[in-house]
Chains A and B, each alone.
Chain A
Amino acid sequence: MFVISCPYCGARDQSEFSYGGEAHIARPEWREDMSDAEWADFVFMRSNPKGVLAERWVHSAGCRRFFNMLRNTATDEILAVYKIGERAPEVQAKLPATPCGEAPIGSGNDAVKVMQPGEAE
């Protein structure tokens, strides 16, 4: 469970917020030759990274305003909160050593951690 810092109200329990999905997905400008695949990419395809994700939240049980957040999905660490319309700030995140691996801390799954070469069994 997170404590999320609403840019308007300050730190509140996550249960006060609703999730708004991946941020910065812009609706494509209409063009006559727009393909179905381009529409599918906008409507359905998502980056779903194991790592830094820019996402929207809304403070539904508070000020009811939307804002953006950067979060490390491998650890749930919140890296930055910023307002709608602002650019995502540069951040550093503790990422797993391998693409599907588990991060050193913050993973709920230490037991399935992959042994790196040389690591004792």
Chain B
Amino acid sequence: MQRYNVVRLIREGLSGHKGWQPAWRKAEPKPSYDAVIIGGGGHGLATAYYLAKLHGMTNIAVVEKGWIGGGNSGRNTTIIRSNYLYDASAALYNHALTLWKDLSRELNYNIMMSHRGVLNLAHDEGEARQLKRRVEANRLNGVQAEWLEAKEVKAFCPPISVAADARYPVIGATLQRDGGVNRHDAVVWGFARAASDMGVDIIEQCEVTGIDTDKDVITGVRTTRGTIATEKVACVTAGHTSVIAGMLGLRLPIESHPLQALVSEPLKPVLPCVVMSNAVHVYMSQSSKGELVIGAGIDPYLSYTQRGSFDIIEHQMAALIELFPFVSRVRMMRQWGGIVDVCPDASPIISKTPVKGFYVDGGWGTGGWKATPGSGHALADLVANDEPNAIAAPFTLERFVTGNLVAEHGAAAVAH
């Protein structure tokens, strides 16, 4: 692998940038692999990377129906935080946050990780009490968290309106200082490059159309580019998780919803942090290019169309202008949607299944980006050892039968 560093940059600059090599190999499918990962999003590629790096499994493939990172990984608003309420979630998301901190160096790829802080606003006394409780729960779990009064919120994030007569008065906020945002494509490409370098085949334009089994044991996958034999299949397909599981006759507690986002024209730096509001259902950050990146809640109905309804945009923009009056004069440039796989308890599934060798990593819903390296790390462990590690253990499929849910809905209503 060609390492990226300042010496190489200068040398390439002087020689007309003719010596750069492709970051990863475009592989053709081989007849068989030790494991096949379905889905070339951040989670699938991170899984491949950790399987190769930590478990020595390099004869593996990632198959992707479109291009890598073309799903939710390329459509999300990249908010990263770990201030969930329950111990199991704190362990999972904080593990991911720890991995994010060193990922640029580890992958030798600048993922533009910016720990600029995430504010979660409180608009009434009830919400303030609930958020303060969460701060305490976070601290007990070693998650960085603090409570800011309205004046401190204004000092930390000057463009926000804390007027007492506002439609949604800001009476305080929680702050996770090491939360932030990063660059989605760079994460996808960085994992792909490092995995490919260790021998992982990344196969694009290859859709899995069926899964072969023999007496409930995985034997291979059928794809639009031929059949591949394998004993282990990991389904990491976000919105399409139910469709893939359905190929094996498995029913999952997942429903797929459109989730949309939009960005403004680029502005000079105006917003120093990420601001989220559960009660008014909107959140905003500013990208390094200067665009305001804005999101809200899911569309209520099931759909795979990767669009969204206009009334959701209308609702979120109305709320946003109340919170940030200056936004009323900003033009919006693009809007898009992704398909998020929502679990009834708003927590993911990292699990074995009744079919031996078939693993599911899904149900991340509206908030899986922040978990990308942690999810890949835990799933790689599960695929290699056929047993969940301590972090993955609470997130099994069985929890919907035993009732042992990780009910984060209340703690993370807008969960991005």
- Residues of chain B contacted by A47 (CB below 8 angstroms): 242, 246, 251
Are B254 and A46 interface neighbours, CB within 8 A? Answer: yes
- Give the B interface residue count (CB, 8 A): 42
B residues bordering A, Cβ < 8 Å?
Answer: 65-67, 70-71, 205, 207-210, 224, 237, 240, 242-244, 246-247, 251-256, 300-307, 309-311, 336-337, 344, 400-403
Q: Chain B at the A interface: mostly helix, strand, loop or mixed?
A: loop
Are A48 and B255 interface neighbours, CB within 8 A? Answer: yes
Are B207 and A45 interface neighbours, CB within 8 A? Answer: no
Are A114 and B205 interface neighbours, CB within 8 A? Answer: yes
Task: Give residues 60-101 of A contacting B (CB, 8 Å).
Answer: 71, 73-76, 98-101
- A41-B251, A114-B66, A117-B224 known; A74+B305 contact, CB < 8 A: yes
- Residues of chain B contacted by A8 (CB below 8 angstroms): none
What's the minimum C-beta distance from A100 to chain B, rounded to whole angstroms?
A: 5
Docked CA distance A53–B402 (Å): 28
Q: What residue of chain A has the Cβ atom nearest to residue B301's Cβ?
A: A19
- Supplied contacts A22-B302, A75-B305, A101-B207, 4 more A-B pairs, CB within 8 Å: A36-B401, A43-B400, A44-B400, A55-B301
A selection of 5 A-B contacts at a CB cut-off of 8 Å is A47-B251, A48-B242, A98-B224, A108-B307, A112-B71
Docked CA distance A2–B252 (Å): 27
Please name the 8 residue pairs, one residue from A and one from B, whose CB atoms are nearest each other, closest first: A112-B66, A108-B307, A44-B253, A108-B306, A48-B242, A15-B311, A19-B300, A45-B251
Docked CA distance A15–B315 (Å): 11
- Residues of chain A contacted by B71 (CB below 8 angstroms): 112
Docked CA distance A21–B257 (Å): 11
Are A45 and B310 interface neighbours, CB within 8 A? Answer: no
Q: Chain A at the B interface: mostly helix, strand, loop or mixed?
A: loop
- Residues of chain B contacted by A5 (CB below 8 angstroms): none
Q: 1/0 per position for A6-25, CB-CB distance to B under 8 A?
A: 00000001110011011000
Docked CA distance A49–B65 (Å): 18
Are B401 and A112 interface neighbours, CB within 8 A? Answer: no
Is residue A26 within 8 Å, beta carbon to beta carbon, of the partner chain? no
Q: What residue of chain B has the Cβ atom nearest to residue A14's Cβ?
A: B309
Q: What residue of chain B has the Cβ atom nearest to residue A113's Cβ?
A: B66
Are A50 and B300 interface neighbours, CB within 8 A? Answer: no
- Residues of chain B contacted by A116 (CB below 8 angstroms): 224
Are B209 and A99 interface neighbours, CB within 8 A? Answer: yes
Docked CA distance A71–B305 (Å): 12
- Residues of chain A contacted by B242 (CB below 8 angstroms): 46-49
Are B207 and A98 interface neighbours, CB within 8 A? Answer: yes
Are A50 and B253 interface neighbours, CB within 8 A? Answer: no
Docked CA distance A1–B304 (Å): 14
Is residue A106 within 8 Å, beta carbon to beta carbon, of the partner chain? yes
Is residue A120 within 8 Å, beta carbon to beta carbon, of the partner chain? no
Is residue A115 within 8 Å, beta carbon to beta carbon, of the partner chain? yes
Are A101 and B311 interface neighbours, CB within 8 A? Answer: no
Docked CA distance A111–B67 (Å): 9
Docked CA distance A100–B64 (Å): 11
Are B243 and A50 interface neighbours, CB within 8 A? Answer: yes
- A101-B207, A108-B307, A114-B207 known; A40+B401 contact, CB < 8 A: yes
